[in-house]
Amino acid sequence: MNRDLDKLHQYPFERLSSLLSEIVPPKELAHISLSVGEPKHSPPSFVEETIAASMHKLSMYPSTKGALEFRQVISDWLKNRFILKDIDANTQVLPANGTREALFAFAQATIDRENHPLILIPNPFYQIYEGAALLSGARLHFLNCNEATGFLTDFSSVTAEVWDACQLIYICSPGNPSGAVLGMTALQELINLADRHNFIIASDECYSEIYYNENNPPTGLLEACAKMQRNDYARCIVFHSLSKRSNLPGLRSGFIAGDANIIASFLRYRTYHGCAMSLITQSASIAAWSDEVHVKKNREKYRQKFQIFQQILGDSLPLNIPDAGFYLWVNILPAGVGNDEIFSRELFSQQNVTVLPGRYLGRLSNNSNPGENYVRMALVATVEECREAAERIKQLIASSS
Ligand SMILES: Cc1ncc(COP(=O)(O)O)c(C=O)c1O
């Protein structure tokens, strides 16, 4: 077997299962999960109808590059959403079966193993970046995101030697778990660094459409390029998904867009990798990317749930409603229940609610795991379940004081 498989860490949800395995939660309380970031709002019915009407496409092999109609819809969506002058559907866009597989595959295709490669990732982070780096043969360099950095990657803290060794950086904006958003200035700073030190930026923007302020959508990497008149998007690739935007995690649909040279090499890799998107999924995706009404309604529900949490728990916990995403990333020490693992165990044991201990999403770097003492609460359940979960968390805190 590939020895690098042994380097992979236990996935956070396996660690959570082990942590909770001996506990029998109260039977009279129904379980509420705030641990997994799986969207639970209903998918748009017109997408389901499109799938039903596309069944005849089962008999056709899709191409890895995807149908031009699919790529054109994506190109139009990107131009409109990120104020781009142009993005060529033929050379600058590819389908992905969700961002997860594309984020993973991207490191395998881009890393040059001969040159002691280094991949930079935020810490805490979406676990795929690390697995992708380890299996690509690269070393990892973590960028700690904590209260002092506004939970953002601080590019100014990285030395020139690290940038020189860096072949690829994953950024996540809006961030999982914090929901913090990298602004235009930070993105442009990173683009300038990429030019100077010759590395690729992989920008995971799968939460870009779940934002709190309707008048302030998160900035994207391609938008930052366009502002700099860099219309070839050199060294920049973005990853987007329908999973969160349109509540379609089971559809497995996303896309990759940016630098045409990188896209061409990645397409070559993907042709052998065998990850063409089914034509049925492409039709459903065209329908979903062409409509914003359902996305706006989706945002309203998350907004409502954040406000409910704030109302119920604002006095007991340091809650900050994030700029975007659907997670609350909460320093749990002031609750007085214990650290992130103890809090998560007690919450399950007393209230049958699951949350994720923040340390499982981070790694020890510079003598600290920035996830420690934080918990991640995914507000994905229904509005009523979220209200109930907030009440139960309040009870746990009250019973411990
Ligand atoms: C930061 C981040 N990136 C990517 C993904 C993968 O999403 P999908 O593969 O459904 O597009 C997730 C899923 O939770 C995520 O949190």
**Each residue of 267-319: pLDDT tens digit?**
999 999 999 999 999 999 999 999 999 999 999 999 999 999 999 999 999 99
Residues 68 and 216 both lie in one domain: yes
pLDDT at 364: 96
Residues 122 and 233 both lie in one domain: yes
Final residue belonging to a domain, choices 256, 291, 326:
291
**Each residue of 285-295: pLDDT tens digit?**
999 999 999 99
Q: Judge contact between 379 and 389, C-beta under 8 A.
A: no
Residues 358 and 254 both lie in one domain: no
Helix orientation angle between 383-400 and 293-313, rounded to the nearest 10 degrees = 20
> Pocket of ligand 1, candidates 126, 181, 275: which has the most ligand atoms within 8 Å of its Cβ, to mutate?
126
Q: How far is the CA of 127 from the centre of ligand 1 (A)?
A: 10
Q: What are the Cα distances from residue 75, in Å, to 208, 216, 240, 258, 389?
A: 16, 21, 12, 10, 40
First to last CA, the chain: 51
Final residue belonging to a domain, choices 254, 273, 291:
291
Q: Which of 94, 154, 39 is nearest to 282 (CA)?
A: 94
> Pocket of ligand 1, candidates 241, 275, 376: which has the most ligand atoms within 8 Å of its Cβ, to mutate?
241
Residues 38 and 181 both lie in one domain: no
Q: How far is the CA of 246 from the centre of ligand 1 (A)?
A: 13
pLDDT at 400: 86
Q: How far is the CA of 401 from the centre of ligand 1 (A)?
A: 37
| Residues 145, 135: Cα–Cα separation, whole Å | 24
Reported as a pLDDT band with limits 50, 70 and 90, residue 401 is confident
DSSP bridge partners of 368:
365
Q: How far is the CA of 324 from the centre of ligand 1 (A)?
A: 14
Task: Say how many domains are in the chain.
Answer: 2
Average per-residue pLDDT in the chain? Answer: 97
Q: How far is the CA of 207 from the centre of ligand 1 (A)?
A: 8
Q: Name every residue whose Cβ is closer than 8 Å to that of residue 235 and which is 6 or more positions away in sequence.
A: 191, 194, 195, 198, 199, 200, 201, 259, 262
What atom of ligand 1 comes closest to residue 172's alpha carbon? 1
Residues 159 and 243 both lie in one domain: yes
pLDDT at 115: 85
What atom of ligand 1 comes closest to residue 100's alpha carbon? 9
Residues 161 and 12 both lie in one domain: no
Residues 130 and 155 both lie in one domain: yes
Q: How far is the CA of 326 from the centre of ligand 1 (A)?
A: 12
Buried/exposed 107-121: b ≥16 CB within 10 Å, e otherwise: bebbbeeeeebbbbb
**Each residue of 187-230: pLDDT tens digit?**
999 999 999 999 999 999 999 999 999 999 999 999 999 999 99
Final residue belonging to a domain, choices 244, 272, 291:
291
pLDDT at 281: 98
Residues 10 and 101 both lie in one domain: no
Residues with CB under 6 A from ligand 1: 37, 98-100, 126, 172, 176, 204, 206, 241, 243, 249, 254
What atom of ligand 1 comes closest to residue 176's alpha carbon? 1
| Residues 130, 136: Cα–Cα separation, whole Å | 10
Mean pLDDT of 251-255: 98
Q: Which range marks the domain in which residue 144 is found?
A: 56-291
